[in-house]
Amino acid sequence: MSSIDRRNFLALGASGAVFALTSARLQARQSNLTARQTIERVQKTLGVTWRTETVDTFKAGNPDTAVRGIATTVMATMSVLERAAAAGRNLVITHEPTFYSHTDETAPLESDPIYQRKAELIKKHDLVIWRFHDHWHMRRPEPMTEGFLRTAGWDKYPVTGRITTIPETTLENAAKHVQDKFGVKAMRVIGERATKVAKVAFMPGYGQPQAMMRSLGDADLIVCGEQREWEGLYYAHDVVASGRAKGVIVLGHAISEEPGMQICAEWLKTFITEVPIELIPAGEPFWRP
């Protein structure tokens, strides 16, 4: 490509991006839909009683900002926010915290350079962030479980409680299957490779250690998002060491719940038609050498 062609190509790309953002802003002005009105519509449509004590609140930005587009995500990382801004999705609906604690307390972070940079990014792009955690889990069918099973390709199998029964396979083959379906780079597995598994307990997100202990009595395999290593995971390690044919697959918190926020985007589209809506994945923060 010549230098002239390259300049023309770059100019065309830049003009296209400006046009897309301008169109999104024009659409928002025409719809007059604010972030506050959007969330009020979510609350009315969800079908559950709204709690007074909840983390499902606005975390950053002005709720009266006109919505140009909506991004759902499992985690409002700086990368997600940058991609949302570039796509003209200025209302970000996140499942997990934005500011590194369950309650998104920002006072202890005021002098932290990463918090400051993130806050500046939000302000620069006129973003509004709202958390959708407690009440999204209350919806039935539970969407994080629904998304997990759909992504794993196990939604066609019978489910009893939090256990699904798949065709018998080995732990190693089950791990390879899950790794491929979720695109995991740094998955971890407990158990012998040749262990036969069919009854699979699923725990997307964070799994309580007591639930891990109970499930290992009924299931051959547990697939979870995350666990504290010194609780449920070392209990599982001891279960295997005792000679019981069990296995555990640890995907990572965000990877295991991202499909549930894809379902959130699909659901939002059924009653919010004024602006574009899409999942912007947080992805996996880990890699393996």
pLDDT digits (tens, 9 = 90+) for 117-147: 999 999 999 999 999 999 999 999 999 999 9
Q: Are residues 177 and 68 in the same domain?
A: no
Instruction: Show the low-confidence residues of the chain (pLDDT under 50).
Output: 2-4, 6, 9-10, 12, 14, 17-20, 24, 27-29
Q: Are residues 133 and 152 in the same domain?
A: no
Q: Specify the number of domains making up the chain.
A: 2
Asked if residue 108 belongs to a domain, the reply is: yes
Q: Are residues 152 and 60 in the same domain?
A: no
Q: Are residues 28 and 128 in the same domain?
A: yes
Q: What is the CATH number of the domain that holds 265?
A: 3.40.1390.30
Q: Which domain holds residue 82?
A: 3-139+258-279
Asked if residue 75 belongs to a domain, the reply is: yes
Asked if residue 151 belongs to a domain, the reply is: yes
Q: How far apart are CA 161 and CA 226, in angstroms?
A: 20
Q: Are residues 100 and 164 in the same domain?
A: no
Asked if residue 285 belongs to a domain, the reply is: no
Q: Are residues 27 and 50 in the same domain?
A: yes
Q: Are residues 30 and 130 in the same domain?
A: yes
Q: What is the pTM of this model?
A: 0.88
Asked if residue 240 belongs to a domain, the reply is: yes
Q: Are residues 163 and 242 in the same domain?
A: yes
Q: Are residues 100 and 182 in the same domain?
A: no
How confident is the model over 164-193, as pLDDT tens digits?
Answer: 999 999 999 999 999 999 999 999 999 999
